[in-house]
Amino acid sequence: MYSLICKSSHHITSSIRASPTHSLCFLQTHLFSSSLSSTDHTPNQHSFTVNYLVNACGFPLEKALSASKYTNFETPNKPDSVLEFFGNHGFTKTQVSKLIRGSPPVLLCNPEKTLLPKIDFLKSKGVSSKDVIKILSTGPTILRRSLENQIIPSFDLLKKLIQSEEKTIAAIKRFPGLLLFDLDTCLLPNIEILREAGVPDANIVVLLTYQPRAFMTSCDKFRESVEKVEEMGFNPLRSKFVLAVHALRAMSKLKWEKKVEAYKKWGWSEDEILVAFGKHPWCMTWSEDKIARVMDFFVNNMGWESSLVANRPVLMSLSFEKRIVPRCAVYQALFSKGLIKKTDISLVKMLESRESWFLEKVVNGYEEEAPKLLKLYKEKLALAN
């Protein structure tokens, strides 16, 4: 934390002291220690706006200079009232900083007339205060869009398509940008492309609810992804069809090729990769780093054949730190004590099973023979956290 008085920007601190909400700005100034180096070297010729963004909102100097080109003010009164508004509605200083960095012009909004109605609308639809904060921190531009002309019509259209207010909120939480797009031109045509391909509405709703970003592209690019999935032989009546569409939509051709190469390094053939993608499309969405870490662990630490993972690609989607490492540690402990044999219980089953089953059948099931097993498991989970 750094001193409240910024020697290099004396004129802004003087102005903030005169502000009715000076205490909030002082707290903000104390908060953003990351801006210390910037303020120490900020020359006096920088505008009031730049100094305010750095000192009160935690902007890096370069971003503050850029933002000041389209967000400008000469006194702290209006931005102070905005920061105070968010603080009063449960936003942490970190969340406020993220929100303002994402949309600096929000500092010029009228809290009661422009900001509050958006918050009240979301809460009226059953969105919790915690989720309202998450939505607006992730999609701050929502606060500057028309409630009547953009936000409410978008929400109503989504609810009509998904046919559930709860699932509509879930989709918005995953991608707040749904409330910003012209859904008539970017969402509905892509939904129609899926229908033309024979995808049931129920599966379209699943994709829209859990992966809404998949629809946010041009019709040409979306149709191209759908056609590729058809060429791969996916059944449009199965949910894997829309998952495959999402997976292809989430990456460029270059990224796809990099994932292919990452698996080939472990001996997978192109046919095995396509078969694995057909079984579990998510296996192609992970980073090359995760692919390397998981494959290295299974092959070099657990002694598996690479083809075993290719046959069970769902294993690639398990959390490396929270699932694979802790459960394999338990398995190895039991195996080393001679309490289980490779034929007694499948490690794959141990990895894929629910937490309740794993604790009951494996960890607690050998409590007498291996009393420290639960401690080992918890220690590995603690490392992940």
For the stretch 234-275, pLDDT in tens is 999 999 999 999 999 988 999 999 999 999 999 999 999 999
154-165 average pLDDT score: 96
- What total number of domains does the chain contain? 3
- Asked whether residue 116 falls in the same domain as residue 198, the answer is no
Q: Measure the N-to-C terminal CA separation of the chain; round to a whole number of Å.
A: 26
pLDDT of 344 reads 56
140-165 average pLDDT score: 96
Of the CA atoms within 13 Å of residue 186, those in its CB half-sphere come to 16
In this structure, is residue 2 part of a structural domain?
no
Where does a domain end: 246, 279, 309? Answer: 246
Share of the chain above pLDDT 70, in %: 87
Task: Please determine, for residue 132, whether its predicted confidence score (pLDDT) is greater than 60.
Answer: yes
18-27 average pLDDT score: 38
In this structure, is residue 328 part of a structural domain?
yes
Judge contact between 87 and 21, C-beta under 8 A: no
Task: Please determine, for residue 29, whether its predicted confidence score (pLDDT) is greater than 80.
Answer: no
Task: Please determine, for residue 28, whether its predicted confidence score (pLDDT) is greater than 80.
Answer: no
Q: For residue 325, what are the contacts with CB-CB under 8 A and spacing of at least 6?
A: 297, 380, 383, 384
Where does a domain end: 139, 166, 200? Answer: 139
Judge contact between 109 and 100, C-beta under 8 A: no
**Position 366, amino acid:** Y
Report residue 22's pLDDT band, with 50, 70 and 90 as the boundaries: very low
- Asked whether residue 213 falls in the same domain as residue 159, the answer is yes
Task: Please determine, for residue 168, whether its predicted confidence score (pLDDT) is greater than 50.
Answer: yes
In this structure, is residue 339 part of a structural domain?
yes
In this structure, is residue 197 part of a structural domain?
yes
In this structure, is residue 25 part of a structural domain?
no
pLDDT of 343 reads 59
Where does a domain end: 246, 274, 302? Answer: 246
**Position 241, amino acid:** F
- Asked whether residue 100 falls in the same domain as residue 161, the answer is no
CA distance 294 to 315: 9
Structural domain of 91 = 47-139
In this structure, is residue 260 part of a structural domain?
no
Angstrom distances, CA of residue 364 to CA of 342, 367, 372: 19, 5, 10
- Helices and strands per DSSP (H, E), number in the chain: 24, 0
